[in-house]
């Protein structure tokens, strides 16, 4: 099993780096080419969520992305925000998306979760084992090499 671990300060500019690394490792792991766009988007959304939470709570802590390719390709995105793991993970119905009362942040969060849930068949969101924080775990199948 090979593991790549990337930690970055919670700045938007680094989310692109995480996407690029995540896709590079996915390709190396044997994830099908036609899934790579979805991998790119899902890792980006999970990292965007983590960065937004760290900024919201004024946390300078690093966001961690851990990728491993054993029988499948799994990616864990770990934040340290002191919230319930399920906060912000609600898909918005169409009639609420363009509602004037919905804040930009709430809209982006809801849309972000819709993308995660829509693109990742095997998705888990749970509290981290130690201290505050959430782990978003995503798994994709790999081809035999």
Partner 1 sequence: MELSLATRTVAEHTVLEVGGEVDVYTAPRLRERLVELVDSGVRSVVVDLGGVEFLDSTGLGVLVGAMKRLRVANGRFSLVCSKEALLKIFRITALDQVFPIFPTIEAATADSDGSATS
**Interface ranges with partner 1 (CB under 8 A):** 12-13, 15-16, 19, 37, 40-41, 44-45, 48, 51-52, 92-94, 97-98, 100, 104, 107-109, 111-112, 114-115, 118-119
Closest CB to partner 1 among 111 and 123? 111
119 close to 136: Cβ distance less than 8 angstroms: no
Whose structure tokens read 């490792």? 25
Tell me the β-bridge partners of 73.
Answer: 69, 140
Closest approach of partner 1 to the CB of residue 1, in Å: 29
Q: Of 15 and 78, which has the nearer Cβ to partner 1? A: 15
Residue 32: count other Cβ atoms within 10 Å of its Cβ: 14
Nearer to partner 1, 3 or 7 (CB): 7
Q: In whole angstroms, how close is the CB of 94 to partner 1 at the nearest point?
A: 4
Q: DSSP label at 91?
A: P
Q: How far apart are CA 138 and CA 145, in angstroms?
A: 21
Which of 72, 108 has the CB closer to partner 1? 108
Cβ at position 66, least distance to partner 1 in Å: 20
CB of 3 to partner 1, least distance (A): 25
Provide CB contacts within 8 A for 109, sequence distance 6+.
49, 52, 88
* Residue among 112, 107, 113, 109 nearest 94 (CA): 107
């Amino acid at each position: 099993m090979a593991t790549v671990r990337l930690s970055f300060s919670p700045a938007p500019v680094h989310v692109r780096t995480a996407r690029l690394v995540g896709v590079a490792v996915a390709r190396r792991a044997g994830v099908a080419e036609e899934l790579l766009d979805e991998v790119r988007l899902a890792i980006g959304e999970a990292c965007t969520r983590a960065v937004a939470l760290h900024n919201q709570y004024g946390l300078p802590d690093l966001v961690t992305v851990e990728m491993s390719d054993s029988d499948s390709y799994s990616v864990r995105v770990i934040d340290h925000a002191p919230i319930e793991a399920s906060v912000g993970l609600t898909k918005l119905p169409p009639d609420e998306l363009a509602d004037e009362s919905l804040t930009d942040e709430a809209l982006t969060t809801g849309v972000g979760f819709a993308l995660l849930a829509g693109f990742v068949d095997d998705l888990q969101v749970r509290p981290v084992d130690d201290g505050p924080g959430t782990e978003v775990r995503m798994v994709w199948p790999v081809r035999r090499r």
